[in-house]
Structure 1
Amino acid sequence: MKPVKFFEKVAGSKSKTFISFCFCFIMGVGFFSFIEISGTKLYYLLICGFVILFGLIFWWKNKVARLILLCLLFVVLGSMRFVGEMMSSQAVTNNDGRLFYGIVDEEPNFKIDNAEYIVSTEFNEKVLIRLPLYPQYNYGDRLMIDCLPALPQNYPSGIFDYRRYLSNQGIFSVCFNPPVTKIGIDEGNLLKSILLKTKNMVSEQINRLFVEPESSLLAGLLYGGRSGLPKELSDSFRRTGLSHIVAVSGYNISIISVIFLNILIVLGFSRPKAFWLAIIGLVSFVIFTGASASVVRAGIMGSLVLIAEKVGRLSDAGRLLFLAGALILLVNPRLLVWDAGFQLSFLATLGLIYLTPHLWFSKRKIPELFFNIVNPTVAAIIATAPLIMFQFGQLSLSALPANVLVIWMIPWLMLFGFLSLSLGWIFYPLGQIIAWLTGFGLKYVIMVTSWFSARTWAAVEMNISWWMMLIMYLLIVLFFYAKSKNFIIGRRI
């Protein structure tokens, strides 16, 4: 297709035009994310480019030319957003000396030998404070900190970019083991404080009803609390491609949401009722886990998959996905290139929406419930495999069978796990009975994970370059595009 014909086709479709604008904004964010160039002069240069393009749009009457100019305009807008974000990112400056005040702004991260607190200062800046495990502080505590905040330093290995990891959370300064004095309590958001206290109550109830490692696994399933997982089991989840089940991510929530929806339909609920039950469950889960920025992003991705399942029109779901991606990057443009979690969430959702309908597994050959588990799982694995190889240097050969054997049980474990906790508060012995039954399911997940992880072929080290990753995604797009146009590449199995 000639370029002019292509742009004419895009200009004649509101759906394609809308997706093009969102894609161009994302592309603008991505370009400067890769080259990491910023500065006041560049920002003003982009503003000049925006003004010129805006003027040309009104001057040029040709429909195709206007579309091209509008696309360039959105590229410039994306570039301006990232460059502006980089200009505003700076370490905390304390002109009054070492002493500053702040409020614990997020749920504390208690580790084996230390604790980390994200503190919001009086200048509305965030600082990561690392302290000994005791004494412990809570969300909403006001602290007086004697420290000169410093820039985060990357690890010597260079494998993990710690500075980028913190910057994605809006943290540009750190303090390690400073003298701290608590001078106030309960100064955080009231709703968030209630949610975190409820979460702590749930954690204590889990530890009463379940033993390790089942208790840590259930905590990971219910609210992403996987810090208590034994290292050996955590490594097993990673080798078998099951790490997502104990992480609150769009990757996990998207898969679980669509499987939960299909289970409800198989159980006899109508599609509209199943959709709203799944949405209610998803919203409740996001609120219960604290509604942090990453959890809200995951919830958005999961809801988009449910909407795609309900409406059955890829164009509608595709528009919503690209709009959601553009809006998320408008809030935090660093996520596109610097956050593997966002990348996995977006690609998994993209795969669930666009790849699932074109997979070769047929309902005529396998039971419907099994079909509804296999297809979304395969779609998510295909959509994320190249990125996982690029980011983490590993290809899990056991991911498909392990996920198929485990993923169907996760919604049930979450349901019965929550039921055992609730009944335990009402009548503890009844909660123990449900917990005992739930424990068999948790043991099953651990058994399957451990068995596959022990196989020598479970995972292979495979590092690929960014251009190889792009080639792999291009081949995936071409393959499924051909299938959607009935140019079958390979027969159905």
Structure 2
Amino acid sequence: MMKPKAHIHRFYLNFVFLGGIIFGTIFSVFSKNTSFRSIVWLILATILFLFSWIFARKFCLILALIAGILLSLWRGSVYNFENLKIAQNIKKDVTVRAAVLEDPDLKEDGSLKIRAKVIEISNEQFNEKAFISLKTNQEIRRSDEILVKGKISEGFGDFAISIHRGRLIKISPKSDFIRDMRDSFAEGVRKFIPSPEVDLGLGYLLGQKNSLPEEISKALTITALTHIVVASGYNLTVLVMAAQRVFNKISRKIALFVAILLVLGFVFVVGFTPSMIRAGIVAIFGLILWYFGRKTQAYFLLTFVAAITLIFEPSNLLNLGWQLSFASFFGVLILSPLLQKIFFEKPEKLNSALKLFFETFSAQIATLPLIIFTFGAVSVISIFANMLVLPFVPSAMLTTFLTGIFAIFSPIAHFFGFIAELILKYSIFIIGEFSKIKGAQLEISFGFSEMLICYFCLILVVILINFKLRKDKILGILNES
């Protein structure tokens, strides 16, 4: 009598499917292929995935992988076609109407650097990202529509096109309730905390780095602490953990609800940047697993979030913020726990300072090849600066937040503002002093192939450590028996 074929767990089907999406996106974006634009490929991918999910046999792993690849090839072909279409305007002097995606950056030379979504070029509709630089005395805010005339150049990163030294023709202010509420809150905070402390505090809390003095911005770059003023997963983690601690005492459901509201609110306030979207998805996914008492599988979580963000926006693959965010994510969630297990028998009993050290060190190692390849420099004192500054970020965020909340009650706002100012003064002192150390930043450069070799070696090390730990665990069980 023949044995019935064993089913496989659908977790593996999902994992392989998501891996196929990532692989297909990488191939599609770099090959610039447009031959899979037909909706037929999307339908075929859907049928294959559903078939593999229903039957869940071992051969279905191949079907799930093919389904993921076909889905990403279809999405990538649509993205590539739109990019090629807008690229036909390169070297042309045209008028562009675009919506501002993030707060513009004001540079030392007085120019504004604007990240925008193209709406129209010479009466032709588009939906791609553009980088625009221009000089103007007029205020441009997030969500505003601008009309710019200039010569279109090739894009870079996730920007399809760029316009340098454009001429601003018109600004059409657009309502953005979240933006206006954020700016109103920031103004309230500024009444009780002086500059530059308030600028750093708002950078922590809201990701508003544009008002930071140039001296502090440079010091943050030298000490590799820019991530604390670019709203990211770290800032979001601080908020989520605070909500969990406070509201979990009342009810697990209330803690989940409040934490998710905080995540969504924070993402809306800061803006839908690739790194912020990644952080938001990770936070919500992690909260749901926490609520149901499930342990987070780091490898699956990393693959899941990467696949979701890439299928919705393939250009994220070329976004430096997205790349650094995932490299850091890999370091904190995968490399750090492995190193802790190598050096300590009971890593779960480590104190918060040691855990912070391992997480910071792992994030630095994971992002190092990409940073050197992109910037040609590396901070040699970053881990020490991070260790001295990061523990005080939650307190600075909380007191800055309470200062804004109680802005209408001056005595209370003055109290929290004073505490926030002291903490932020300390942070600025540490950042400034470390940035002055001679040789704090070394100039190193290597090419794309060297970067790939570094990441290949890093992944190989992770695999070998995993293998060693599993082997030691098996030997330990055998010795006990």
TM-score normalised by the shorter chain: which range applies?
A: 0.7 to 0.9
Structure 1 position 12, deviation (Å): 2.5
- Of residues 156, 162, 182, the one that matches 1:164 is 156
The one-letter amino acid of 2:139's match is Q
Please name the residue that 1:353 is paired with: 333
Question: Do the aligned partners of 1:329 and 1:335 also contact (CA within 8 Å) in 2?
Answer: yes
Structure 1 position 201, deviation (Å): 2.0
Worse-matched range after superposition: 439-448 or 354-363: 354-363
**Correspondence 1:242 to 2:225:** yes
Structure 1 position 20, deviation (Å): 1.3
Inter-partner Cα distance in structure 1 for 2:423 and 2:312: 39
Please name the residue that 2:14 is paired with: 18
Inter-partner Cα distance in structure 1 for 2:304 and 2:292: 17
The one-letter amino acid of 2:214's match is K
Q: 1:438 to 1:198 in 2, by over 3 A?
A: same
Map of 1:168-179 to 2, 5 A cutoff?
171-174=160-163, 176-178=165-167
Deviations 1:133-182 (A, max 9, x none): 3133445656555x365134xxxxxxxxxx22352xxx535363425145
- Of residues 308, 311, 326, the one that matches 1:327 is 308
- Of residues 189, 194, 201, the one that matches 1:211 is 194
Please name the residue that 1:151 is paired with: 153
Deviations 1:13-42 (A, max 9, x none): 322221111012101111233xx3235457
TM-score (norm 1): 0.75
Please name the residue that 1:466 is paired with: 452
Aligned residues: 447
Please name the residue that 2:320 is paired with: 340
Deviations 1:76-112 (A, max 9, x none): 3323322331111133889xx9785746443551514
**Correspondence 1:222 to 2:218:** no
The one-letter amino acid of 1:80's match is W
Question: Do the aligned partners of 2:404 and 2:413 also contact (CA within 8 Å) in 1?
Answer: yes
Task: State the identity as a percent.
Answer: 24
The one-letter amino acid of 1:196's match is R
Structure 1 position 322, deviation (Å): 2.3
**SS in structure 1 opposite 2:163?**
strand
Question: Do the aligned partners of 1:98 and 1:148 also contact (CA within 8 Å) in 2?
Answer: yes
Structure 1 position 312, deviation (Å): 6.6
Question: Do the aligned partners of 1:28 and 1:76 also contact (CA within 8 Å) in 2?
Answer: yes
Inter-partner Cα distance in structure 1 for 2:361 and 2:249: 25
Inter-partner Cα distance in structure 2 for 1:104 and 1:237: 29
Please name the residue that 1:477 is paired with: 463
Question: Do the aligned partners of 1:37 and 1:83 also contact (CA within 8 Å) in 2?
Answer: no
Inter-partner Cα distance in structure 1 for 2:348 and 2:303: 34
Q: What residue ranges of structure 1 are gaps of 5+ in the alignment?
A: 1-7, 153-162, 489-493
**SS in structure 2 opposite 1:151?**
strand
Inter-partner Cα distance in structure 1 for 2:163 and 2:267: 28
**Correspondence 1:202 to 2:185:** yes
Inter-partner Cα distance in structure 2 for 1:37 and 1:116: 29
**Correspondence 1:296 to 2:285:** no
Map of 1:73-472 to 2, 5 A cutoff?
73-89=67-83, 90-91=85-86, 102=97, 104-112=99-107, 113-117=110-114, 118=116, 120-121=119-120, 123-125=125-127, 128-138=131-141, 145=148, 147=149, 150-152=152-154, 163-165=155-157, 167=159, 171-174=160-163, 176-178=165-167, 180-182=169-171, 185=173, 188=174, 190=175, 193-250=176-233, 252-253=234-235, 256=238, 260=242, 278-291=259-272, 294-306=275-287, 313-314=294-295, 316=297, 318-336=299-317, 338-358=318-338, 359-360=340-341, 368-371=351-354, 373-424=356-407, 426-456=408-438, 458-463=440-445, 464-472=450-458
Q: 1:209 to 1:412 in 2, by over 3 A?
A: same
Worse-matched range after superposition: 404-413 or 435-444: 404-413
Q: 1:242 to 1:230 in 2, by over 3 A?
A: same
TM-score (norm 2): 0.76
Inter-partner Cα distance in structure 2 for 1:381 and 1:270: 37
**SS in structure 2 opposite 1:209?**
coil
Structure 1 position 69, deviation (Å): 4.1
